[in-house]
Structure 1
C-alpha cells in the first residue's frame, strides 16, 4: 500500500468518525448515564394501588426517553452534548488510526493468506482495534467522566482540562488507562462487525458487477450503492453489538470517578451478583439506537471519501 493510499484511508476514517460522533452525541450521553452505577438517579418510582386499597411502590426500569427527559429537566439541553469536545478530538485520530491499520494489515494478510478470507478480516480488525484503543484510551476516559458529570442548571460544568487535572491528581498517569481491559474485550465486537460487513460488501459488489456487465463504466457508483453499504454496516453492527455489549457497561463502570470496580472480571461478577445479569445490558436499546445510524453514517462516509479521492 502506497503512502497516498494510507493517507486516503486515514482521512476517510477520520471524516467518517467525526460526522457520526456529532450527529449522535445526545444518545451517547444518555447511553453512558444508563450504563453507570449512578443509574438510580434516573429511576422513577411508581405508586400502585392494590385490591385492598394499600399502596405499593414499584421501581420503573429507566429507558431512553425517561433518562433524556430527566437530563433536559435537571441539567438543560447543553448537557446532551457533554464530552463532545474530547469526542471530536479523539474520534478523528481513533478512526483514522483504526482504518489505516485495518487496511494496511489487510493488505499484508492478503499476501500471506487466502485473499479477503475470514482469517484476514479477523486479524486485520483485531490489530486495528488493539492499536486504536491503546493510543486513544485517555481521551475516551475524559469523555466518559464528562458525560457522567451531572450538574443542575446554572452550575458551572467541569471542563476537559479540569477533568484531566482531577484524574491525574487522584490516580496519576495510570488513571488515564482505566477501562482499557474492557475495551480490549470489546475488540471481539469489532471483529464480528467487520467479518459480517466484508462478507455482505463482497456479495453486494459481486451482484453489482454481474448486473452492470453491459455498462461502459462498471466502476461508476450511484446513490443506491452507498445506501447498500449503509445497510450492510447497520446489519453487521447490530449483530456484533448484541453479542458483545456487556463490555460497554463494564468499561463505563471502570471509568467512573472513585470507582470501586477493580478489573474486567471483577466488574462482571460484582454487577451480576448485586444487580442481576440484566444489568450488563443496561442501555442496550439506546446504544443500538445510537450505534446503528452512527456506524452506518461512519462507514458510508468512509466509503464515499475513499471513492471520491479516487482510491
Structure 2
C-alpha cells in the first residue's frame, strides 16, 4: 500500500491502526524492561538502605528474594494498564498531531509537544492505577501476593482514591516529559529519517535519545511520584500532592534525594523508548506497509 493510500484512509481506520500498534508497543516494551523498572523503583524509594547502585540493588534483589523472577513480579499489569494506556496514547497523539500541524496555527515542534502532552492526560487516566499497583508490588519485602491481591487489599483498606493518589504528580511529571519526548523524537526523525518512511535504525536512535533526554530532566518529579505511590501506611495520611511530596523528599535526603535513580531512570528510558517506538513503527508498517 502506497503512502498516499494510507493518507486517504478514513480517520477512524487510521485511529484503530494506531491503537493496535500502540497497544503492542506498550505491552512488549514494559515486559522487556520490567526488571530494570523494578530496580529503578527501589532505587527511588526513600526506604532504600545499603546498596544504591543499579548492579548493587539488582544483585541484592536476586540474592535475597528468590532470584531473577522477583524482578518480574507484577509484570501482568502490562496487559491491564500499559496496553490500553498506550493504545489511547499513540492514537490520540497521531490524531492531534495531524490536526494541529495541518491547521498551521502553530510551529510544528510546538504542535508535537502539545499533542504529546494532551495525549498523556488521557493515557495517565488509564495507567495511574496500574502504576500504583505495580510499584507497590515492586518494593522490597512487598506483602502482596500478586496484582489481584494488591488491588483488592488497597481498595479494601484505603478506598478507590488510593489508586489515583499520584495522578496529579504523574501528570506534573509526564506532561513536561512527554512534551520534551515527542518534540525530541520528531526532531530526531527529521534528521535521521527525513522521508518519514519505515526505518528501524532511525526509529531506534531517535527513540533512545528522546527518552534519555526527557527522562534526565524530569527525574525529580519521578522521585516524588514514586514516594507518593510507595509511602508507608503512616505517611499516607500525611503526604498528599506534589508539593508536599517534594517537601518530604527534601526533608529525608536533601537536594540530592531528587536525583535518586537518575542513572537507572535514564538507562531504563533510553532502551525503553527505543523499543517502544521501534515496535510501534513496526506495527504501523506491518498493518499498512506503505507507511
Same topology, TM > 0.5: yes
Among 141, 146, 152, the alignment partner of 1:159 is 146
**Structure 2 equivalent of residue 245 of structure 1:** 219
1:39 aligns with 2:17: no
**Structure 2 equivalent of residue 19 of structure 1:** 28
Counterpart Cα distance in 2 of 1:123 and 1:301: 23
Displacement of 1:122: 1.8
What is the TM-score with the length of structure 2 in the denominator?
Answer: 0.88
Among 176, 180, 195, the alignment partner of 2:183 is 195
Displacement of 1:164: 1.1
Counterpart Cα distance in 1 of 2:257 and 2:79: 29
**Structure 1 equivalent of residue 7 of structure 2:** none
Counterpart Cα distance in 2 of 1:74 and 1:10: 40
**Structure 1 equivalent of residue 5 of structure 2:** none
| Larger mean Cα displacement after TM superposition, 283-292 or 255-264 | 255-264
- Give every structure 1 segment of 4 or more consecutive aligned residues whose post-TM-superposition deviation is greater than 4 Å: none
Note if contact 1:87-1:140 (Cα within 8 Å) is conserved in structure 2.
no
Displacement of 1:129: 0.4
Task: Report which of the two structures shows the higher radius of gyration computed on alpha carbons.
Answer: 1
Structure number with the higher helix fraction is: 2
Note if contact 1:21-1:88 (Cα within 8 Å) is conserved in structure 2.
no
**Structure 2 equivalent of residue 230 of structure 1:** 204
In structure 2, list runs of 5 or more residues that go unmatched. Answer: 1-9
**Structure 1 equivalent of residue 111 of structure 2:** 120
Note if contact 1:113-1:120 (Cα within 8 Å) is conserved in structure 2.
no
Displacement of 1:270: 2.0
Name the SS for the 1:78 alignment partner: helix
Name the SS for the 2:193 alignment partner: helix
Among 148, 158, 180, the alignment partner of 1:171 is 158
Counterpart Cα distance in 2 of 1:179 and 1:10: 25
Counterpart Cα distance in 1 of 2:101 and 2:202: 25
What is the TM-score with the length of structure 1 in the denominator?
Answer: 0.83
| Larger mean Cα displacement after TM superposition, 128-137 or 110-119 | 110-119
Displacement of 1:111: 3.3
**Structure 2 equivalent of residue 73 of structure 1:** 63
